[in-house]
Amino acid sequence: MDSNEFIVHSRLRSARARKRSQIEAEEKMLRRMYSEERAIRKDIRALGYVDLKPPVEQGYVRTFVLRDDVKRSKQGPFFEKLLRKINTRQWSWRKDFLKKRRHRGKKIYVDRDQRLQDLYAWQFDRMKFTEQERFYFHEVTVHFQYSKKPVKMFRFIEPWRFVLRVQPNMITKVRVKDFDLEQRLADIDRFFVFGNRRDRLVKLLNGNTYRSHDGDPIKYRDPLHNRSFADILNEYAPDTNNEKMCKTLGMPGVFCFSVGATSVKLWEKMLVRIMLRCNFNNMKHLTILVPEGENNLSSIVGSLKIFSRANDVMTRAGRQPVFKIELAGLSDTVRFHGNWFSAHPINIKKIKRTDLIIIPSLNHNYQKSIPLNQKLVEWIKNRYDQGAEVASICTGAFLLASAGILDGKECSTHWAAYNHFRKLFPNVKLVYDRIITDQGGVYTNGGAFSFLNLMLYLVEKYSDRDIALFCSKTFQIDIDRKSQSPFTIF
């Protein structure tokens, strides 16, 4: 075929074929410009840096460092190494790191938030943490502002070991520049900006411009959505008079609605929101169980004393107490140590809702204690399904595991009960050396009086670090104790 015949045949192509060839030419151009851009950026990075004399101060940087008491402890080098993996860095022109924010039409200055780095699952696996380092992380679910599904991340559980330090940001080196490369890179960037060619390039390379979301988008549902006023009151403010009030219709000054209605009035929902936001009862309901049979009285009394002391400290500081404490069980009277001591708990049927359940330590006859407290085990399971957190002390893990709550989770108990526990509950991941385990609102601890460390851990979680430190100094408890291995007898 000569040149004239080629020209004739090319002119006979359809409009669709000509458009297709034009698109292919543009795609080749995009790929060629992208390859050139990558090569230029690589050459710019290879130029390196030169020293800047004299150095120039430009703003301030803020990073985390070890606290002095932690640095002087035996675990100082361990946490120093761990900090290098999760440390964060912030820069600001201001030494106090305040930022402007508009509040009610006025500009105010507020502190900039800075936390240790939360790690994605793939980051957590790639960093290859040791078993001891993994102990200081727990799994959290994070909802980002523009994300349509929750993200699982790993967060350091003891940030109090580090403090923020502000230092001048000194510029000691500058990058070597090649103005010809910089000019060519700017030309390529303008090429991609024109006509949204950057989006077309991303689609060409990845097949899609935007991220894909697997499954249905998760909606942030309102906890009061499509629920009657009666159901909401029964959950957040249980009262025996609610049913009588629900049946009162048409009376002025009385809430008028019907139980089980598919819709409720707007003002009723608004009233509930006001009640919840005002938080008339901000205290956490704490239930310390008193099981049937021979139990360990010290774990009941010790838990009661630590939580009560935390409330006293809060009251003396002019703050509202954290815990509303109640002892609950199946019987009105439970006797200990040959009738020398007795406890008088309320019946568990009277507790419709609680925030935290403490299961005390059992004596050695576990096979007898579990069937004797079967109703208590069912009650624990029901409260956990309703959102309550559960903590077991020492061999109280036998009751917690009987409820099926520990299946697939890590658990700690007294070292002398390891073999028996493993035979009864093979689906539980038994850990041997830890004093405390925390997995999704389920807490367990090691043997004997190590439960005091778990109580301090819960006080710190529900109040703050200072309250827990005060309780540890008052009761002379080593708050930083993490392992029960030194006390194990093989």
Measure the CA angle with vertex 464, ends 462 and 470; round to 5°.
115
> Rounded mean pLDDT of 153-171?
92
Taking Cα atoms as reference points, which of 156, 80, 76 lies closest to residue 117?
A: 156
Mean predicted confidence (pLDDT) in 263-281: 47
CA dihedral 186, 191, 195, 201 (to 10 degrees): -100
Report whether pLDDT(441) > 90. Answer: no
* pLDDT value, residue 182: 92
DSSP string, 268-292: HHHHHHHHHHHTS--SEEEEEEE-S
Q: Is the omega angle on the peptide bond into residue 159 within 30 degrees of 0, that is, cis?
A: no
Check if the beta carbon of residue 112 is closer than 8 Å to that of residue 99: yes
Three-class SS state of 90:
strand
Alpha helices in 285-385 (DSSP H): 297-316, 366-372, 374-385
Q: Which helix (H) or strand (E) holds 444?
A: strand 442-445
Q: What is d(CA 97, CA 91) in angstroms, rounded to the nearest whole number?
A: 8
Q: Across residues 72-88, what is the average pLDDT? A: 93
Q: Tell whether 299 and 425 lie within a shared domain.
A: yes
pLDDT tops 90 at residue 88: yes
- 106: domain range? 51-171
Per-residue pLDDT, averaged over 252-278, amounts to: 44
Residue type at 247 in one-letter notation:
K
331 close to 292: Cβ distance less than 8 angstroms: yes
Residue 230 has pLDDT above 80, yes or no: no
Q: Are residues 68 and 192 in the same domain?
A: no
Residue 128's identity, in one-letter code, is K
pLDDT in tens, 117-129: 999 999 999 998 9
**CB count, 10 Å around CB of 488?**
15
Write down the pLDDT at residue 232: 66
Confidence of residue 234 (pLDDT cuts 50, 70, 90): low
Domain-embedded: residue 114: yes
> Can you tell me the mean pLDDT for 191-199?
87
Residue 261 has pLDDT above 50, yes or no: no
100 and 205 share one domain: no
Residue 171 sits at φ, ψ, to 5 deg, of -90, 110
Category of 346 on φ-ψ map: left (φ > 0), alpha (ψ -120 to 50) or beta: beta
- Comparing 115-124, 128-137, 280-289, 433-442, which segment has the lowest mean pLDDT? 280-289
Q: Which residue has the higher pLDDT, 240 or 456?
A: 456
The 10s digit of each residue's pLDDT in 375-417 is: 899 999 888 888 889 999 988 888 898 888 888 888 888 888 8
pLDDT value at position 167? 94
| Amino acid in the structure at residue 392 | S
Q: Mean per-residue pLDDT for 302-327?
A: 86
| Span of 18-22, 118-122, 367-371 with lowest mean pLDDT | 367-371
Kindly list the distances between the CA atom of residue 77 and the CA atoms of 74, 81, 320, in Å, as whole numbers in the listed order.
7, 6, 39
Using pLDDT thresholds of 50, 70 and 90, give the confidence band for residue 268: low
* Residue finishing a domain among 244, 263, 278: 278
Helix (H) or strand (E) holding 192: helix 179-193
Residue 78 maps to a domain: yes
Q: Is pLDDT of 366 > 80?
A: no
- Is residue 335 over pLDDT 90? no
CA 389 to CA 358: how far, in whole Å?
9
Burial label for 168, CB within 10 Å (0-12, 13-18, 19+), is exposed
- Are 391 and 459 spatial neighbours (Cβ–Cβ below 8 Å)? no
Do residues 418 and 336 both lie within one domain? yes
Mean pLDDT of 58-86: 93
Indicate whether 201 belongs to any domain.
yes
Roughly what angle, to the nearest 10 degrees, separates helices 465-475 and 451-462?
150
- pLDDT tens-place string over residues 464-482: 888 888 888 888 888 877 7
Question: Does the pLDDT of residue 256 top 50, yes or no?
Answer: no
pLDDT tier at 148 (50, 70, 90 boundaries)? low
**pLDDT for res 283:** 78
Query: Cα–Cα distance between 270 and 103 in angstroms, integer?
Result: 24
Residues 67-94, mean pLDDT to the nearest whole number: 92
pLDDT band, residue 244 (cuts 50/70/90) = very low
Q: Based on the fold, state whether residues 387 and 268 are members of the same structural domain.
A: no
Instruction: Give the Cβ contact number of residue 105 at 10 Å.
Output: 5
One domain for residues 317 and 453: yes
Residue 6 within a domain: no
Instruction: State the Cα angle at 150 between 148 and 412, rounded to 5°.
Output: 175
114 and 249 both lie in a single domain:
no
Cα separation, 457 vs 452, whole angstroms: 9
Q: Contact, 346 vs 327, CB < 8 A?
A: yes
Residue 389 DSSP symbol? E
> Based on the structure, what is the number of domains in the chain?
4
Three-class secondary structure of residue 438 per DSSP: strand
What is the pLDDT confidence band of residue 461, given thresholds at 50, 70 and 90?
Answer: confident
Split at pLDDT 50, 70, 90, the class of 299 is: confident
Coil vs helix vs strand at 176: coil
* Residues 390 and 313 both lie in one domain: yes
Residue 14 domain-assigned (yes or no): no
Domain for residue 8, yes or no? no
Instruction: With respect to residue 353, please indicate whether it lies within any of the assigned structural domains.
Output: yes
Of the given ranges (112-116, 266-270, 288-292, 406-410), which has the lowest mean pLDDT? 266-270
Say yes or no: 291 and 384 in one domain.
yes
Q: Are residues 43 and 58 in the same domain?
A: no
Q: Can you give the pLDDT at residue 292?
A: 84
Instruction: Categorize the per-residue pLDDT at 290 as very low, low, confident or very high, splitting at 50, 70 and 90.
Output: confident
More confident residue, 463 or 273: 463
Between 245 and 327, the more confident residue is 327
456 CB neighbour count, 10 Å cutoff: 23
Whether residues 441 and 328 share a domain: the answer is yes
Average pLDDT, the chain: 80
The answer to whether position 192 is within a domain reads yes
What percentage of the chain exceeds 90 in pLDDT?
24
Q: What is the CATH number of the domain that holds 327?
A: 3.40.50.880
Tokens 């409330």, located at residue: 311
Same domain, 142 and 57: yes
Contacts of 218 (CB under 8 A, 6+ apart): 148, 149, 150
Label residues 324-336 b or e (16+ Cβ within 10 Å = b).
Answer: bbbbbbbeeebeb
pLDDT at 278: 42
